[in-house]
Amino acid sequence: MGAWGVGYFENDMALDWIGPIQNHTDEAPIRNTFERAISEKKYLVVDDGAEVIAAAATLSHLLGAKDIGIPEELNVWIKSSKFAIDKELVDLALSALDRTCADDSEIKELWEGNPDYYPQWTESVVKLRTHILASI
């Protein structure tokens, strides 16, 4: 995993997620990211986990969180798009975050393998989940 910090966009997979979503002008890529992770019944690979966290951070930002650290390229997309955020999308986000933190998630395993950063990573995911949950 190419990561240089526990921030939501401090890894290659999260930044790679931003490029393709710019072909859309709505919340579809966010929704699709959540649905893909939830539908994975076996092992959730690190790329999918990192993308869920990036999508959840984006949603949290759209719901008013100011301390997310949104990259400029993503902020441009956000400003040029129209989003329909409903309870279903929020519920998908919460389920996808839970899936990312499950025992059969590679991103969780990789962070667990680094005891110096695992508590910070866990705290960052809990913070996202808490903010998104507060929106419903």
80/98 Cα distance (integer angstroms)? 30
Under 8 Å between Cβ of 85 and 30:
no
58-105 pLDDT, tens per residue?
999 999 998 899 999 999 999 999 998 999 999 999 999 999 999 999
pTM: 0.95
- What pLDDT is attached to residue 3? 77
* Whether the Cβ atoms of residue 27 and residue 85 lie closer than 8 Å to each other: yes
Mean pLDDT taken over the chain:
94
Distance CA 94, CA 11 (A): 21
Whether residue 4 is predicted with pLDDT greater than 70 in this model: the reply is yes
**Whole-angstrom distance, CA of residue 88 vs CA of residue 94:** 10
